[in-house]
Structure 1
């Protein structure tokens, strides 16, 4: 049960967000209110207000940040992007919950003792608030973090934030995952799942060890991207940061996150920008087509299980369990393929005798398919992959060659989205990256053909200044750094 500090942190974060919007430059306020909120607030709890859906660490920084951007900064942040297909995805994402409710007005009778209730209008409102929490992050990032300088600042912020986060992570690797229960009074997940390979994997204040592993992997990859685009005076520091983050990633004991880093870091370090972007686009197409490929039984699941068995029999059994559950859940989702089953465990599979849930949902794609159907899946994943698919066209329209920084960011975003197929490791970082990338794409489209974007190469820090000085941005009276 959450203690008073957990409740205090959740209720006070709107005021922390307001202070950031009052004291920091707009870009820094957006980045750090969302980053710090996600990394520090308690996981697995929400504020249940009367007659309103619950507010979690995902929705509080974004909803209040969106409001403060309007009230404090005087900027109206459009929820819908300039792209026509992007507007269609956003409309479907917000209207989909009401269509799900309309197609699920019937109760489901599991047995004589258990009945899953019909969906009501309140359920649609609750679903929309959840969607708005992520959509507001996406819109804020698209509108405010919309050029190369802002994109670089976002990448630097994530790498530096996780360099700091490695301190509590290393503590939990040595002492066991206990910070959340010691500080907030409860453990946010199943403690047994944090035990792996004779030791512990960290979780700190995130939802699961898999979340912290994929974000550490992404940070290591982004450090490589920053090293390639930094001046010689600071490039070595980013390389050291990448090596250190990789060492911590090994201690996270997540094979998938480690494989992503092992495969992508050589590509990010050696390949040209066009090849990096092509790899990201190929991954984006795979993500959007994955439900169709699984429905048609095109994905060679048996071969993947055999390959996993050559590494570890335990991992092969885990992978087989995931695929078996996906097959059963996908067959259940196909009974209402358009808009899904909605909440109240209606998208799960139940034992007719006991009424207990017998399915396990791991991948976000199958969760989205069961919860909101094909339309919900396409709306959510379509918004996330949209900047990856549009980036190359935007560069061609601007008459410029693809650059390393946005291409590398696109590949790291694609890796995060690929991980949503076996896992549900979506986070505010995912939406913030996607929104910032789309803002960058839209800024490219506004440039006259052949004109380069005004983004000077970052200067080396002045003598005596901290290595990360200026990361948060500069106010009129001088530099300000959260570090």
Structure 2
């Protein structure tokens, strides 16, 4: 059971956001309101009100950022991102939940018992929930307007990893206890956090996988800034690369290690243009993953066999995931376009859902999947169009690091569900960055880039 500190932290966070918006620019304040809330607020604690989505760490953080931008940052949120395809996806994404409700007006049988039909009023809740989900993307797309802004976000992302690292180290040494000590309960299975004869940190994210994946992303962001010759707090980025690499190692998660190494290899050993081409191809593959799974183009048996030769226990885990994904995929085909809706109507009795892709596909159908996975793919492909034309080396490298980290986050949505508010914010920042660069290139204008500067703290 959560203690009073857990509940008070959610109540106090909007006040923290007010202080941030009074002291910092709207972009930086939004970053720390959203990312800071994700990093430090408790999981599985919420306030439940009728018709509106749960008020938890994610929704409170993004609503606080939204209100801060409007009231204190004077940001006009009536506008949509400059990208026309982003506009189409956002509008469609807000309308598709209505279709999900209208096509689920009958009870659903999950293999053991019936689950009630979705009432029409549930459409209001789903629309609000989808809007809250997309707020970070909208804010990122509206607030990032130049290459300087894009580099600022990357610097703060690396700084967030450095600030979080002492908590990670404490839990590696003492076991994952911080959430219990501060908020009164442990949010997940403790046994899943035991790896390689020790512990992987959970801190306040809810699971060691999420911490490790965050560590992988901030590490790759540091590598990108190093390759772009950008400093943080007047310190060469190479020192952050080395330190965050060590933090990634102690997170003891093989999947995150693979993501971190893949991102670093692309950033270090390929040109910016080649790196963006590689991740663009991967992003398209991830976007098409459900269709490829349906037609049997994903070599699941081969992957299990190859991994089994190196990590037999990981191969068993992967085979388990593939088996349950197939169960859910077959169930999803019955309502393929708009899904089965909420209340576990999308679940087959006895199934386990880990991947974000199958959760979205089974709940909301291919239409919503195309939005929630189309936005990051759009960002990566926009970066591809930019990097092939931009003349600035710094601009190319910054474009590449955004494309690489977005691709890595897309990859993680296949085995895991980590597309949280801060991830959507990064997607939006990329869109906001690439559109003005594309416009400047088209008009033969000179694209500005950020010189080493002190990171904004107040």
Q: TM-score range with shorter-chain normalisation? A: over 0.9
Bigger Cα displacement from structure 2, 85-94 vs 297-306: 85-94
Deviates more, 1:406-415 or 1:45-54: 45-54
Paired residue for 2:192? Answer: 193
Equivalences for residues 297-446 of structure 1 within 5 A:
297-350=296-349, 358-394=350-386, 403-446=396-439
Distance in 2 (CA, whole Å) between partners of 1:105 and 1:233 is 54
For 1:34-433, what aligned pairs fall within 5 Å after superposition? 34-78=34-78, 80-109=80-109, 114-230=113-229, 237-350=236-349, 358-394=350-386, 403-433=396-426
Inter-CA distance 376–186: structure 2 relative to 1 (3 Å threshold): same
- The answer as to whether partners of 2:328 and 2:358 remain within 8 angstroms in 1 is yes
Tell me if the contact between 2:341 and 2:363 (Cα under 8 Å) persists in the aligned partners: yes
Question: Which residue number in structure 2 is paired with residue 451 of structure 1?
Answer: 445
Secondary structure of 2:373 counterpart: helix
Structure 2 unmatched runs, 5+: none
Q: Distance in 1 between matches of 2:309 and 2:303?
A: 10
Query: Shift in Å at residue 23 of structure 1?
Result: 2.1
By how many angstroms is 1:267 displaced?
2.1
- Segment drifting more, 228-237 vs 45-54: 228-237
**Stretches of 4+ aligned residues off by more than 3 angstroms:** 109-112, 231-237, 394-402
Q: Deviations over 1:408-434 (max 9, x none)?
A: 121111111111111111122211111
* Matched residue, 1:33: 33
> Which one is further off, 94-103 or 385-394?
385-394
Equivalent residue, structure 1, for 2:4 = 4
What TM-score results when the alignment is normalised by the length of structure 1? 0.90
Q: SS of the counterpart of 1:153?
A: helix
Q: 1:236–1:307: structure 2 CA closer, same or farther, 3 Å change rule? A: farther
Measure the CA separation in 1 of the matches of 2:129 and 2:312. 38
Instruction: Measure how far apart 1:109 and its partner are.
Output: 4.0
RMSD: 2.1
Deviation at 1:232, TM superposition (A): 8.2
Instruction: Give, in whole Å, the separation in 2 of the partners of 1:232 and 1:95.
Output: 43
* DSSP 3-state at the match of 1:343: coil
Instruction: Compute the displacement of 1:240 (Å).
Output: 2.2
Q: Contact 1:362–1:424 (CA<8 Å) still a contact in 2?
A: yes
- Give the direction of change, closer, same or farther, for the CA distance of 1:7–1:325 in structure 2 (3 Å limit): same
Equivalent residue of 1:104, what SS? coil
Any unmatched runs of 5+ in structure 1? 351-357, 460-469, 473-480
- TM superposition shift of 1:203: 0.6
What secondary structure, in the 3-state scheme, does the structure 2 residue paired with 1:205 have?
coil
The verdict on how the C-alpha distance between 1:182 and 1:271 changes in structure 2, with shifts beyond 3 A counting, is same
Q: 1:397 Cα shift?
A: 6.8
CA distance in 2, matches of 1:327, 1:26: 44
Separation of aligned partners in 2, 1:400 and 1:222 = 19
Normalising by the residue count of structure 2, what TM-score does the alignment of the two structures yield?
0.94
